[in-house]
Chains A and B, each alone.
Chain A
Amino acid sequence: MRVSDKGTFELHRANLARLKSAWTSAQERAATGRQVTKPSEDPLAMSQALRERSKSARADAYARGIDMGNHRLDAADRSLADVAEALRRIRDLTVQAASDTVTARERADIAVEVRSLRDTVHSLANTEAAGSYVFAGYPDDAPPFDAAGVFGGSSDVPELEVSPGVRVALGVRGDEVFSGAGGGVDVFASLDALATALETDDVPTIRASLDTLDAAHGQVVHARGEIGARQNQLEVSQSVVGRMKDRAEVRQSELVGADPVDAYLELEQAQGAYQAAVKIAAQLPGPSLVNG
């Protein structure tokens, strides 16, 4: 076949352009650590990587929510622990006051202490965490229990989504724990009645209130158990979303990331090919009648 000079030069020009382009993209891959830098290089991988990136972002968001939820549950748990402690102290005082050897005057003194403990429980029931009252239900910007201990919040517990489709209640219902909604004991009414009985030296009522106190204590302990269960749920969710994030990130780097060793080898190879082509092109035009 006839070989024209223009054809030869054009062949080399096209070849050099191709190899240089391959070399440049190999450099880009090695430098960025990404196998796919433009969507068109691998549309499927890029499209999947976008989803994985979103999953990883969602996992981050869940983890943040779980942290905040933990904070709120911890606050509720701590105040319920203190309430249980106060109720036990009141029970001890009541047992003491129920004794026949105690005088009316001593009972009046105990009444003062019971009233003070009742106020402690009252303020614990109005616990605030991060600007919201934890036992208030939804209207959480105002103390749920008024001075008389009457519940003014809502019979709800705000929920948190902790992983796709899974929601956890952030606390317990204030009216159930303290006001006896749903068949329990109204803690504040019982304590007020007890204090009045102590002040009026009404021993039978004092003795009768021991059962009520036990029921109230049980109610609080039960609520703590529920909170503990929810804390466990959050802990599980924490590790679920942690794994979700890990998986998404691994998958993402599998899809669009470059293996450093491969990237380096590819770069070496592309560079070698380009250098060889340059060397050959440099020998053009070769022996010719013109320079012979």
Chain B
Amino acid sequence: MSTLFGILSVGRNGMMAHQVASQTASHNATNASSLGYTRRMANLESIDGPPQPGLGSRAKGARRVIDPFLERRLLGARSSAGESRARASSLNVLDEVFTDSDADIGAALDALTRAFGDLSVNPGDPTAREQVLARAQSLGDVFRQTAEDLDGARGEINERIAFEVGQVNERLYQIADLGEQIAKAELDGQEAGNLRDRRDQLVREVADRVPVKAIEEDDGTLNLLLDGSRVLVGPDGEVNELLSALDPGTGDVSIQHREAGALVDLSLAGGSIGGMFAARDGALRDAQSALDQLAYDIATAYNTTHRSGIGLDGLGGRDLFVPPGAVPGAAMNLDLSAAIAGNPDAVAAAADALMLPGDNRVALDLTNLAEQDLALGGTATAVEGYAALVGEAATKVQQATLRQEGADAAVEQVEALRQGVSGVSVDEAMVDLMQFQRGFQASLKVIQTADEMLGDIMRLKR
């Protein structure tokens, strides 16, 4: 049974529905640049009768326009971009440390060889001897400096990992918190769009750091899984946070996770934290060990030859460098031996104590060490060994940079696809706004018309 008052209700309902819809379109237009914003679509539906034929339209909240598969791809892409970006930026130090300069290890080796060459021409000359000491000292210095730079980079990565773990945990609690709020807000069946946008953004930010998978429950709560299996945020909002542990021996940070009450060491293959691990335990460690090995080989070879020689004081058997105890740390500890430091006469140029000072045979041998295959297990000269080390480190930096470019492009692509679905087009929002304005105007007209009809009926009685 239809009444004129029913038409008035239709107009009122339509007016209210289009007001909501206009607000949704305006919300979209003004959030075009908001971080993590997903465009909304007003849910306008007709209010069916009875009374027939129906009571107009109503807005049932606003739905977020989202493609769950794209969202999942985006998480994966951001994890691998986070990984390769962190790896590349952690390895940049190798580029800086190994850029050629007049003061790099290769140049220091050449300078030492030149000093030995001068000594072989003037074995009795105090200046030539001072030069040998100075050059050997600076070779030690530049090795130490390089080792310190690499060590500093390692320390920085460790601090960074601990910091990023904190960032992840902070977000885990926020995600759990938002899950609860969303479940409460959506009890009436309407989507809590802003809360969901914020939670999705937080999940993406976690994915930048560690590889995660987000599984949504029907009630709106979220399971956040690390590496596909370890629970970071559970369905009832409990958080199982990441723990960082410091190895006091090496100064290295590792990441742990509590599993059934026990702590488990994690190795992550994605996200910026995974990338930093990869850089630290891969290219950086390789460069450090190669540098140590080179320092060890150089110290050992020069010591052996130098010990066979005799100084101006007629004594022999002295090391040039402090003999390295082990390969690890050899670069950091490369220094003039105590017997030589400050004692130019102890530099051994001669092979025979009776042939001083013109005997230059050991000085020639020391000069010739530059031509000897003493590095890389006896397959390369010292300078070649250094060049190989630089080449290897640089190759890894190059690979990391290329991978970063690829991963960034992949994120850009998925992000573009996501923007195609969920991003705001201002023009589109404006068209929507006009459309809803029309609807609003139409509803007003309906009210006006119903009013006129009522008036007409009133006039009948007069």
Q: With A40-B397, A43-B398 as given contacts, are A7 and B420 in contact (CB-CB < 8 Å)?
A: yes
B387 CB to closest chain A CB (Å) equals: 4
Contact indicator A4/B420 (Cβ below 8 Å) = yes
Compute how far the CA of A140 lies from the CA of B360 in the bound complex, rounded to whole angstroms. Answer: 11
Compute how far the CA of A69 lies from the CA of B426 in the bound complex, rounded to whole angstroms. Answer: 83
A31 CB to closest chain B CB (Å) equals: 16
* Docked complex: B82-123 residues within 8 A CB-CB of A: 94-95, 98-100, 106-107, 109-111, 113-114, 117-118, 120-123
Q: Is B440 an interface residue (CB 8 A)?
A: no
Q: By the criterion of a CB under 8 Å from any partner CB, how many residues of chain B are at the interface?
A: 67
Contact indicator A39/B387 (Cβ below 8 Å) = no
Contact indicator B367/A161 (Cβ below 8 Å) = yes
Compute how far the CA of A289 lies from the CA of B435 in the bound complex, rounded to whole angstroms. Answer: 13
Contact indicator A138/B427 (Cβ below 8 Å) = no
Looking at the complex, which of B228-236, B267-275, B388-396 is the stretch in contact with chain A? B388-396
- Complex contacts, A58 vs chain B, CB 8 Å: 110, 113, 370
A259 CB to closest chain B CB (Å) equals: 19
* Docked complex: A36-83 residues within 8 A CB-CB of B: 37-41, 43-44, 46-51, 53-54, 57-58, 60-62, 64-65, 68-69
Contact indicator A138/B356 (Cβ below 8 Å) = yes
- Complex contacts, B361 vs chain A, CB 8 Å: 159
- Complex contacts, A49 vs chain B, CB 8 Å: 100
Contact indicator B431/A289 (Cβ below 8 Å) = yes
Contact indicator B110/A54 (Cβ below 8 Å) = yes
CB < 8 Å neighbour of B355 from A40, A51, A137: A137
Q: With A39-B98, A137-B358 as given contacts, are A50 and B398 in contact (CB-CB < 8 Å)?
A: no
CB < 8 Å neighbour of A46 from B33, B390, B428: B390
Q: Is B143 an interface residue (CB 8 A)?
A: no
Contact indicator B32/A164 (Cβ below 8 Å) = no
Compute how far the CA of A5 lies from the CA of B356 in the bound complex, rounded to whole angstroms. Answer: 85
Q: Is B419 an interface residue (CB 8 A)?
A: yes
Looking at the complex, which of A91-99, A128-136, A186-194, A262-270 is the stretch in contact with chain B? A128-136
Contact indicator B124/A161 (Cβ below 8 Å) = no
- Complex contacts, A1 vs chain B, CB 8 Å: 420
Q: Is A261 an interface residue (CB 8 A)?
A: no
* Docked complex: B379-407 residues within 8 A CB-CB of A: 383-384, 386-388, 390-395, 397-398, 401
Q: By the criterion of a CB under 8 Å from any partner CB, how many residues of chain A are at the interface?
A: 57
- Complex contacts, B416 vs chain A, CB 8 Å: 7, 10-11
Contact indicator B120/A46 (Cβ below 8 Å) = no
* Docked complex: B401-438 residues within 8 A CB-CB of A: 401, 412, 415-416, 419-428, 430-431
- Complex contacts, B107 vs chain A, CB 8 Å: 53, 57
Contact indicator A50/B124 (Cβ below 8 Å) = no
Compute how far the CA of A51 lies from the CA of B387 in the bound complex, rounded to whole angstroms. Answer: 6
CB < 8 Å neighbour of B393 from A9, A39, A69: A39
CB < 8 Å neighbour of A3 from B114, B122, B387, B420: B420
- Complex contacts, A139 vs chain B, CB 8 Å: 354-359
Compute how far the CA of A111 lies from the CA of B330 in the bound complex, rounded to whole angstroms. Answer: 71
Q: With A2-B421, A47-B388 as given contacts, are A140 and B113 in contact (CB-CB < 8 Å)?
A: no
- The chain A residue with its CB closest to the CB of B434 is A289
Q: With A14-B412, A161-B367 as given contacts, are A290 and B427 in contact (CB-CB < 8 Å)?
A: yes
- Complex contacts, B121 vs chain A, CB 8 Å: 65, 68-69, 160
- Complex contacts, B356 vs chain A, CB 8 Å: 138-139, 141
Contact indicator B420/A156 (Cβ below 8 Å) = no
Compute how far the CA of A69 lies from the CA of B122 in the bound complex, rounded to whole angstroms. Answer: 10
B411 CB to closest chain A CB (Å) equals: 10
Q: Is B364 an interface residue (CB 8 A)?
A: yes
Compute how far the CA of A140 lies from the CA of B124 in the bound complex, rounded to whole angstroms. Answer: 9
- Complex contacts, B355 vs chain A, CB 8 Å: 137-139, 154, 156
Contact indicator A159/B364 (Cβ below 8 Å) = yes
Main secondary structure, interface of B, reads helix
- Complex contacts, B427 vs chain A, CB 8 Å: 288-290
Interface string of A85-127 (1 = CB under 8 A from B): 0000000000000000000000000000000000000000000
Q: Is B125 an interface residue (CB 8 A)?
A: yes
B308 CB to closest chain A CB (Å) equals: 16
- Complex contacts, B419 vs chain A, CB 8 Å: 4, 6-7, 10
A51 CB to closest chain B CB (Å) equals: 5
Interface string of B366-380 (1 = CB under 8 A from A): 011011000000000
Contact indicator A47/B394 (Cβ below 8 Å) = yes
B113 CB to closest chain A CB (Å) equals: 6
Q: Is B352 an interface residue (CB 8 A)?
A: yes
Q: Is B176 an interface residue (CB 8 A)?
A: no
Q: With A10-B419, A65-B117 as given contacts, are A50 and B386 in contact (CB-CB < 8 Å)?
A: yes
Binding site for B on A (CB under 8 A): 1-7, 9-11, 14, 37-41, 43-44, 46-51, 53-54, 57-58, 60-62, 64-65, 68-69, 130-132, 136-141, 154, 156, 158-161, 164-165, 167, 285, 288-290
A40-B395, A54-B387, A158-B360 known; 13 new pairs, CB 8 Å cut-off, are A5-B424, A6-B424, A39-B99, A39-B393, A40-B95, A46-B390, A51-B384, A54-B110, A61-B110, A61-B114, A138-B352, A159-B361, A160-B120
**15 contacting pairs across A/B (C-beta < 8 A):** A2-B420, A2-B423, A4-B419, A40-B397, A47-B387, A50-B390, A53-B110, A57-B107, A57-B111, A57-B113, A61-B117, A64-B117, A161-B368, A289-B426, A289-B427
Binding site for A on B (CB under 8 A): 32-33, 39, 94-95, 98-100, 106-107, 109-111, 113-114, 117-118, 120-125, 350, 352, 354-361, 364, 367-368, 370-371, 383-384, 386-388, 390-395, 397-398, 401, 412, 415-416, 419-428, 430-431
Query: Ordered nearest first, which 6 A-B pairs have the shortest CB separation?
Result: A4-B423, A47-B391, A7-B419, A140-B358, A39-B394, A138-B355
